[in-house]
């Protein structure tokens, strides 16, 4: 069958609205694209200002969004409905391609949380995020950049009667590509997600993937996650399912303590997990092979108002969606934060040309009371009550098998089961003795053993070696690698260099540095370092591969082939190195040799898409149309969203039908980047005309025109080239963020043709993104004050922060002057004035901004409140906060912090004037948690500072008894709620000294200091102040640097 006919018969395009059949006469699956109206709280206001800090540093060139809605409105959304007689699944291609929800049809219960509203809030890496469904996260830690925006998708009906919706995107920061096939069988009560993630680049990148599924959070929900322990984001190990304090944390309602919970559960070799709502005896489940998905996590919002406030923020009570939990699956044991590197649970690289493929199923079960085992065949629960063994089965597919029960190795019960999906079977068996129980269905299609907990227990270490020396050569190398895996390339380089300080010839560090220099486009530097590694060992595979990519980039093709040849001897690089050799031979026009190497690359990785792409091009150039189509068919089998394959088919048969097929499938948020990625892949092979034909179909975008101008010049079309260069310069730079290393040569050519601020600006952005700060600042400086584009000045101001505060202020003020009706310039200027302690100047700007923008932007209201606080205008600050409505990001506290601080500082002010009664009222107000400030109250707020000020007030009023009781309470709280985090330990130490317990106070500070890094400023200040060493305390304050970075798993910087 030809490629075209296969496309017509198998791929259901977005404009095809259909049903597979009319009346349901038998088991079948239906797929349909349709419109569905949801109450929607939309997001808007994309940020045109580049800020390489916090969460955005990890994901440049993505931009964030700053506009969120208080009021909902009805909006029609594109949805894809997959349905069979047992379950219904809804997918939203324009909201990250996520599974929006899933319903078990006989009960009409959701087993994947279905949010009845689309309520975007500031939670994800770029901001907008919605709760519910299943979110697909690929790339780096945090909610993925595409989680709330349109992705590519295609509908498909399969030969076995199942139907599929395949969604996917290009992850720009890593240039990797992910796909998820959401597949619904015709005759089973589950749906499947089949994931494919490919790294087409020659570089390692961060290996981070988690499926964030969700379900309704109710007190009667019991979790059935086999395991002995759970670990945190930081890798610390704790007990599961009953914690160290004896709490049944596997029951949702008994997590009524502390903050929100992240339980990464491990310790048993089990392929399933699930949860059951006891009150209606209905549950959700998940199954996957352990080697494919070892990570299993439960996320629970705090059951206090601190977490429950998010129920209101993310859904609407009148729509009945309610609070949710997340059951997540990952490639690693935990979503590792930075400190997890200190434990066995480190980070991992995604290798060059690497592929990750994994399949998992999501299913409901009902009326069986819990979960003792689950497979693709069904769910089983086995419970014992004295001498009665109860067996309950909820099938997921047709079962025609024997049910056997053995006790002590002897068969005591058998029954033939003939069950349909979701047809529950329950029976009881009398037991005479306490021996091992085994229950099986068929040939171990479903199996339970009473000894599973012990037999399947894992014995891998879950705590780190205490004697590991982080200051050793290997210790520093380990830290460098861990930082690189987290995309902290500057930090990684520093640690590699520290490694070489101890051992200048340490090959792994030399090679690591060389790869980092490739990233930063300092190819000659990289070559110098990797050559030293090869001087140690000519056959080192890591060094040879990096030697190869550096030489290829520098145009030294003979040396590149030499390096790749030895790298290919290692299984680690065999596929990637052969791919590189194939591409070099193609560039040298040795098509026969290129074909040979391409086949070699596929021998060791049959999913290496780059190998297939090269073969398709080779066969097209050799006029072997049939062979080319066969390659493209295979390519689309692995990746049904492969845009290269569709464009190659157009090149094979250049007609409008094939061109429309190609362009119609690019429907993600940033289609221009898809066209650029494809065109650059052709240009890298020297196929300039193919690259031009791709880009001529791309949307209007400056970088597209730059590339077209450059490519036409290469093809000696000078007039066309100059026209396109003019078009590039005339197209607005709004939300244009170049980032690819290949674009450097294009922009440098453009600048040589015509000196402009735009080309310098774009070049500067790329250099900044690659960590080349000196070159970036030079290019931005050369732009002078020519641009009439406010985001340029705000971006340049951000670039020079920490280097030249006068330049920053000039740029921020310039941006205000040319965008007086825009809030963002005021926001940055106010905050920078505050950052450099020019509070009076900040106040002048904040008054103006507050008057102009406060009604539309609570961010400006927050800025004004903070500025009033810094200027000691506490009453005014409180008044602003009493009249603001904050839509917070996850983990936000600022609104309440400012409110609390303003009230307490005002109270201290009054107390110093002798007005303790009024001060006490303000202290009481500071202990309130007004939820319009975006923060809910935790279970046990830390009010040691408040109580300390209250005690001082009572002492001033002569009521020492009340003061004494408050001091006792402060001490008791410290003992009962000890944590290594907590600047209020200083208050506790002061109180202990007042109580005459000076030794205990010193010990408290010593324990706190021991638990913190040696350079912790707050600890050092506290110890100095406690010891009345004001000079040392001031030194600590002076060394304090403002940070904008949040936690790695919630990087809300």
Q: By the 8 A CB rule, do 514 and 534 touch?
A: no
Q: Give the residue-averaged pLDDT of 790-796.
A: 98
User: Residue 983: what pLDDT?
Assistant: 77
Please state, rounded to an integer, the average pLDDT across all residues of the chain: 94
Q: Give the residue-averaged pLDDT of 460-472.
A: 96
Closest CA to 97 of 165, 164, 44: 165
Quickly state the pLDDT bin for 1039 (edges 50, 70, 90): confident
State pLDDT tens for residues 128-166: 999 999 999 999 988 999 999 999 999 999 999 999 999
**Cβ atoms within 10 A of the Cβ of 482, count?**
21
Q: Give the residue-averaged pLDDT of 786-811.
A: 97
Quickly state the pLDDT bin for 854 (edges 50, 70, 90): confident
> What residue spans define the domains of the chain?
3-366, 373-455, 944-949+963-1053
Q: Give the residue-averaged pLDDT of 849-877.
A: 95
Closest CA to 332 of 313, 345, 344: 345
The structure's pTM equals 0.93
First-residue to last-residue Cα distance in the chain: 53
The rounded distance, in Å, linking the Cα atoms of 574 and 198 is: 16
Whether the CA torsion 747, 752, 753, 758 is positive or negative: it is: positive
Phi, psi of 191 (to 5 degrees): -125, 160
User: Residue 1053: what pLDDT?
Assistant: 30
The rounded distance, in Å, linking the Cα atoms of 40 and 446 is: 43
| Residue 46 buriedness (CB in 10 A; 0-12 / 13-18 / 19+) | middle
User: Which run of H or of E encompasses 440?
Assistant: strand 437-441
For the ranges 628-632, 697-701, 778-782, 1019-1023, the lowest mean pLDDT is seen at 1019-1023
Q: By the 8 A CB rule, do 247 and 75 touch?
A: no
The rounded distance, in Å, linking the Cα atoms of 77 and 35 is: 5
* pLDDT for residue 25 is more than 90: no
Q: Write b or e for each residue in 853-882: b if 16 or more Cβ atoms lie within 10 A of its Cβ, otherwise e.
A: bbeebbbbbbbbbbbbbbbebbebbbebbe
* pLDDT for residue 262 is more than 90: yes
Residue-by-residue DSSP string for 149-208: S--EEEEEE-TTS-EEEEEEEEETTTTEEEEEEEEE-SS-S-EEEEEEEE--SSS-EE--
Pairing of strands 355-366, 282-288: antiparallel
Could you tell me the CATH superfamily of domain 373-455? Answer: Immunoglobulins (2.60.40.10)
Q: Give the residue-averaged pLDDT of 991-1002.
A: 92
Q: Give the residue-averaged pLDDT of 1024-1035.
A: 92
User: Residue 801: what pLDDT?
Assistant: 96
User: Residue 1037: what pLDDT?
Assistant: 82
User: Residue 197: what pLDDT?
Assistant: 98
Closest CA to 866 of 905, 810, 820, 911: 905
* pLDDT for residue 191 is more than 80: yes
User: Residue 26: what pLDDT?
Assistant: 54
* pLDDT for residue 528 is more than 50: yes
* pLDDT for residue 956 is more than 50: yes
State pLDDT tens for residues 274-295: 999 999 999 999 999 999 999 9
CA distances from 1023 to 353, 1004, 1028, 1038 (A): 52, 10, 8, 16
Query: Hey, is 57 helix, strand or coil?
Result: helix
Q: By the 8 A CB rule, do 364 and 430 touch?
A: no
* pLDDT for residue 405 is more than 80: yes
* pLDDT for residue 16 is more than 60: no
Percentage of the residues of the chain whose pLDDT score is greater than 90: 90
| Residue 852 buriedness (CB in 10 A; 0-12 / 13-18 / 19+) | middle
Q: Where are the alpha helices (DSSP H) in 503-608?
A: 507-519, 523-536, 541-554, 557-567, 574-587, 591-603
Quickly state the pLDDT bin for 978 (edges 50, 70, 90): confident
The rounded distance, in Å, linking the Cα atoms of 754 and 445 is: 70
CATH architecture of 3-366: Distorted Sandwich (2.70)
User: Residue 804: what pLDDT?
Assistant: 93
State pLDDT tens for residues 568-607: 999 999 999 999 999 999 999 999 999 999 999 999 999 9
């Amino acid at each position: 069958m030809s490629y075209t006919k296969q496309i017509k018969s198998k791929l259901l395009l977005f404009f095809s609205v259909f049903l597979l059949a009319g009346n349901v006469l038998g088991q079948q699956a239906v797929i349909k694209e349709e419109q569905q109206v949801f109450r929607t709280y939309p997001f808007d206001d994309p940020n045109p200002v580049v800020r390489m800090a916090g969460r955005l540093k990890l994901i440049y060139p993505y931009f964030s969004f700053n506009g969120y809605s208080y009021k909902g409105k009805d909006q029609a959304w594109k949805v894809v409905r997959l349905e069979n007689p047992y379950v219904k699944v809804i997918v939203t291609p324009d909201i990250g391609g996520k599974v929006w929800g899933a319903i078990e049809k006989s009960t009409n219960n959701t087993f994947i949380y279905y949010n009845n509203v689309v309520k975007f809030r500031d939670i994800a890496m770029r901001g907008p995020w919605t709760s519910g469904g299943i979110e697909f996260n690929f790339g780096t830690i945090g909610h993925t950049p595409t989680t709330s925006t349109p992705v590519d998708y295609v509908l498909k009906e399969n030969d076995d009667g199942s139907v599929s919706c395949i969604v996917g995107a290009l992850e720009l920061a890593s240039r990797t590509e992910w796909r998820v096939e959401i597949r619904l069988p015709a005759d089973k009560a589950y749906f499947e997600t089949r994931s494919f993630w490919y790294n087409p680049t020659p570089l390692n990148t961060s290996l981070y993937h988690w499926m964030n599924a969700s379900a309704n959070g109710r007190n009667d929900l019991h979790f059935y996650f086999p395991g002995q322990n759970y670990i945190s984001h930081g890798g610390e190990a704790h007990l599961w399912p009953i914690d160290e304090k004896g709490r049944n944390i596997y029951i949702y309602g008994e997590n009524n303590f502390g903050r929100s919970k992240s339980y990464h559960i491990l310790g048993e070799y089990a392929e399933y997990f699930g949860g059951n709502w006891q009150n209606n005896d209905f549950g959700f489940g998940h199954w996957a092979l352990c080697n494919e998905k070892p990570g299993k996590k439960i996320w629970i919002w705090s059951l206090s108002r601190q977490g429950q406030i998010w129920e209101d923020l993310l859904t609407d009570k009148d729509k009945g969606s309610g609070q949710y939990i997340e059951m997540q699956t990952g490639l690693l044991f935990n979503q590792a934060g930075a400190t997890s590197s200190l434990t066995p649970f480190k980070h991992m690289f995604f290798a060059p040309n690497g592929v990750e493929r994994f399949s998992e199923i999501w299913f409901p079960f009902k009326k069986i009371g819990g979960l003792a085992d689950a497979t693709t065949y069904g769910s089983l629960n086995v419970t014992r009550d004295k001498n009665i063994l109860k067996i309950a089965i909820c099938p997921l597919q047709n079962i025609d098998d024997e049910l056997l029960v053995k006790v002590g190795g002897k068969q005591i019960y058998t029954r033939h089961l003939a069950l349909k999906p979701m047809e529950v079977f329950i029976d009881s068996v009398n037991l005479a003795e306490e021996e091992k129980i085994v229950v099986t269905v068929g040939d171990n299609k479903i199996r339970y053993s009473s000894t599973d907990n012990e037999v399947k227990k894992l014995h891998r270490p879950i705590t780190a070696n205490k004697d590991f020396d982080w200051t050793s050569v290997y210790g520093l190398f380990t830290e460098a690698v861990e930082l690189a895996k987290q995309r902290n390339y500057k930090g990684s380089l520093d640690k590699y260099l520290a490694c070489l300080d101890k051992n200048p010839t340490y090959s792994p560090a030399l090679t690591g540095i060389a790869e980092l220099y490739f990233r930063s486009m300092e190819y000659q530097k990289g070559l110098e370092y990797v050559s030293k590694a090869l001087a140690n060992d000519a056959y080192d595979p890591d060094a040879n591969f990096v030697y190869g990519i550096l030489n290829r980039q520098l145009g030294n093709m003979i040396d590149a082939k030499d390096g790749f040849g030895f790298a290919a001897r290692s299984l680690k690089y065999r596929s990637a190195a052969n791919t590189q050799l194939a591409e070099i031979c193609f560039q040298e026009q040795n098509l026969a040799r290129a074909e040979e190497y391409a086949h070699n690359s596929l021998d060791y990785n049959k999913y290496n898409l780059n190998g297939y792409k090269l073969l398709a091009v080779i066969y097209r150039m050799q006029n072997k149309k049939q062979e080319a189509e066969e390659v493209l068919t295979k390519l689309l089998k692995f990746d049904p969203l492969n845009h290269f394959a569709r464009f190659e088919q157009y090149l094979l048969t250049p007609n409008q039908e094939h061109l429309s097929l190609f362009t119609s499938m690019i429907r993600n948020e940033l289609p221009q980047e898809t066209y650029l990625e494809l065109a650059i892949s052709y240009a890298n092979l020297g196929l300039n005309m193919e690259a031009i034909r791709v880009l001529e179909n791309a949307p209007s975008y400056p970088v597209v025109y730059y590339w077209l101008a450059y490519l036409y010049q290469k093809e000696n079309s000078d007039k066309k080239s100059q026209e396109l260069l003019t078009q590039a310069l005339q197209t607005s730079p709004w939300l244009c963020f170049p980032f690819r290393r290949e674009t450097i040569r294009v922009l440098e050519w453009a600048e040589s043709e015509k000196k402009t601020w735009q080309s310098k600006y774009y070049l500067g952005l790329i250099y900044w993104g690659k960590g080349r700060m000196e070159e970036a600042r030079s290019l931005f400086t050369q732009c002078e004050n020519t641009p009439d584009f406010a985001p340029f000045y705000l971006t340049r101001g951000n670039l020079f922060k920490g280097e030249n505060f006068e330049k920053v202020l000039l740029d921020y003020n310039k941006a205000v002057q040319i965008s007086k009706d825009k809030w963002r310039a005021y926001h940055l200027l106010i905050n920078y004035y505050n950052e450099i302690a020019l509070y009076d100047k900040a106040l002048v700007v904040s008054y103006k901004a507050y008057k102009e923008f406060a009604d539309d932007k609570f961010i400006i209201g927050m800025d004004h409140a903070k500025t009033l606080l810094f200027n000691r205008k506490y009453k005014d600050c409180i008044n602003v906060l009493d009249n603001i409505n904050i839509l917070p990001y996850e983990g936000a506290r600022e609104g309440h912090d400012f409110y609390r601080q303003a009230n307490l500082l005002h109270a201290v002010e009054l107390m110093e004037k002798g007005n303790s009664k009024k001060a006490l009222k303000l202290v009481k107000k500071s202990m309130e948690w007004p939820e319009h400030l975006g923060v809910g109250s935790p279970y046990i707020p830390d009010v040691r500072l408040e109580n300390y000020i209250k005690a001082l007030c009572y002492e001033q009023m002569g009521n020492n008894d009340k003061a004494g009781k408050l001091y006792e309470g402060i001490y008791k709280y410290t003992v009962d709620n000890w944590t290594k985090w907590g600047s209020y330990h200083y208050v506790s130490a002061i109180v202990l000294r007042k109580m005459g317990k000076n030794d205990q106070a010193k010990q408290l500070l010593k324990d706190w200091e021991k638990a913190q890094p040696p350079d912790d400023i707050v600890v050092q200040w506290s110890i100095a102040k406690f010891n009345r060493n004001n000079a040392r305390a001031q030194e600590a304050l002076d060394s304090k640097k403002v940070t904008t970075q949040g936690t790695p798993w919630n990087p809300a910087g």
